[in-house]
Structure 1
Amino acid sequence: MKEIKILGIDLAKNIFQLHGVDAAGKPVLRKAVSRRKLMEALVNLPPCLIGMEACGCAHNWAREMIKLGHDVRIMAPHFVAPYRKSGKNDLNNAEAICEAVSRPHMRFVAVKTEAQQSALMVHRVRASINTERTALINQIRGLLQEFGIILAKGASTFSKRFLEVVEAENFPWMQWRSWPNCADTCWH
C-alpha cells in the first residue's frame, strides 16, 4: 500500500470513516473503524495531514492524534460541504474532508487545549444560566401582571421587589394556603 499523505476522518458516535490519499491524490485507504480502534489504526500510520470536521469530540481526538505526530486540522462543516461529490453519507463525507483539508486557502479551527476548552465550557454554562434566569424572571413578571402587579425590568431589582410582593398580606396566592387540600387540587 502506498503511503498516506492526507487522511480525512468523519467522526461519529461509534463508527468512523477514514479516507486516505497518497502524494498524487489517489485514494489508498477507505475504511470504517470503531471508536475503540481509531487510535490503534492511526498509530500504525506514518505522520500525515489529518482533517476532521469541528464537532463535540474533534478537539479531544485532535490532541490525541497530535501526540502521535500527525498534523491535524479541524474545519467547520459548512466549509467541507462543497467538496462532497454526491449524497451525504459518512464515506462521502470522509472523502470531502480529505479534499477540503488539502486546499491551500481553507480556513481551520485552532485545536484547543484542555484548559481552553474548560474556560469555554464555564463561559457557555454561565451564559446559559443568565439566559434561563432572564426567561424565568420574564415569566414571573408576566404571571404577576395577571394579578395587576407590575415589576420593573431588570434582574438587579427583581429579587428584592419580588420578595416584597410575595410577603405582602394581600397577595392572591397567600389565600391558597387556607384552601382545603390545596396541594392536592392545585398542582395535579
Structure 2
Amino acid sequence: MKTLVVYTSQTGFTKMYAEKLAERLQADCFTVEELKKKEDSFFDSYEAIVFGGWAMAGKVVKAEWLLGKAPAWKGKKLAIFCVGATPVESPLVEQAMAKVVPDELKDSVGVFYCPGGLNYDKMKLPSRMMMKAYASMLAKKKDQTEDDKKMAEMVATSYDISDVKYLDPIVEYIEK
C-alpha cells in the first residue's frame, strides 16, 4: 500500500517516530511545511496517509492539516499519531485522544498515542516557559496526589520515554 507519513516536530520525538514509521511501512516521509505548497493531486496516488504531531495543551499540533483534508480523502486509510510527554498508561492520554478527531471523522481516521518525553534544550522559549510554569505549579500544589508528585518530578527535567514499540498499533492499522 502506497503510504505517506507527514509530521511536525519541535524537539525531535515526533520526527523520530515518523521516520521509523516510514521505514516500517516503506512510506514517503515529509514535514507538513514541505507539503504545504504541494498541489492536491500530489496526494492522489497515496492509499494511506498518516500524520504525526506533538501534544500541546490537550491538542495535536497541526492536526488540522489532515483533518481539513480528510473529507476529500474518502477511500484512503487515514491516521493521526500524537507524541507527548505523558506516559501511555495515564488516563489523561485516553481522554485527550478521544478529542483529537471530530465525531463525523471518527470512523475514518485512526488515532494513536506515542510517548516521547521532554527535551528542554530543543524546546522553543514559549513552550519551555509553559512547561517550567506547569512543573512549578505541580510542585507547589497543596494536597498532591501520588500522580501529581510523579508528574512534577518528571517534568522538572528533560527525559525520554520513547520506544518504537508504540508504532506497532499504527503499522497494524495501516496494513490491515
More strand by share: 2
Hey, which of these two has a bigger chunk of helix by percent? 1
Larger Rg: 1
Q: TM-score, normalised by structure 1?
A: 0.29
Higher relative contact order (CA 8 A, sep 6+): 2
